[in-house]
Amino acid sequence: MMKIFQKNLVAVLFLAICSNVVAQSKVDPEYVKVTNERAQKIVNDLKLNSPADQLAVRDIIAEQYRSLNKIQDGRDAKIDAVKKSVTDKEKQQKSIDKIKNSADKEILSLHKSYLKKLSKKLTNSQIVQVKDGMTYGVLPITVLGYNDMLPNLTEAQKKYIYDALVEAREHAMDGGSSKEKHAWFGKYKGRINNYLSKQGYDLNKESADWHKRLEEREKNKK
């Protein structure tokens, strides 16, 4: 009996050690470096005076990138496993939807926690800068684009466009890739275009006219 107990104990300890090694191996030093550098670029634009605050905010942003990646990688691995093991398409889709919903809840909780951490170190305007930094500045660029293409927008129309893009940015900042981030903005730009069409704008004509104006500006620069 004692020998069996000892063998089982050794087996448990071996599995625990292996699990710990696997967990540690998942922390890729190169990825940590990449996320730190990515976060530092955002922090540089904040112009924080305190080196301690700069480091603290950098770490918060970098950790957010890594936490999102962990959730998304785990989600994708589970989905791949389901696709390989479940042949019934209906059951497969139900399992995949369940996995995605669970990951979305985790990401939403992480999103709220992240903003709470930032609010302890930054002003509201600085947090907006962080959000734009995480989404390649697509929001301000897109707002300028719409205003330039449609100079006669009403204040109500401008507000609709801005509010829609703010909502898009909240989703996009949790995206796991550049493609996913841009896809969120693409989705909301589709909504904006539908709204503007209902407001009476012929967007195909407006876009064509706008590109002509842009070409003229470039010629005049030369």
For 36-51, write each residue's pLDDT tens digit. Answer: 999 999 999 999 999 9
Encoding tokens for residue 212?
A: 């002509």
pTM to 2 decimal places: 0.84
Query: Is the pLDDT score of 111 beyond 70?
Result: yes
Q: Choose the weakest-confidence range: 2-6, 110-114, 165-169, 187-191.
A: 2-6
Does residue 158 come out as left (phi exceeding 0), alpha (psi in the -120 to 50 range) or beta?
A: alpha
Query: Is the pLDDT score of 5 beyond 50?
Result: no
Bigger pLDDT: 105 vs 21: 105
Q: Find tokens 């090694």 and name the residue.
A: 21
Query: Is the pLDDT score of 9 beyond 70?
Result: no
CB atoms within 10 A of CB 157: 18
Query: Is the pLDDT score of 221 beyond 90?
Result: no
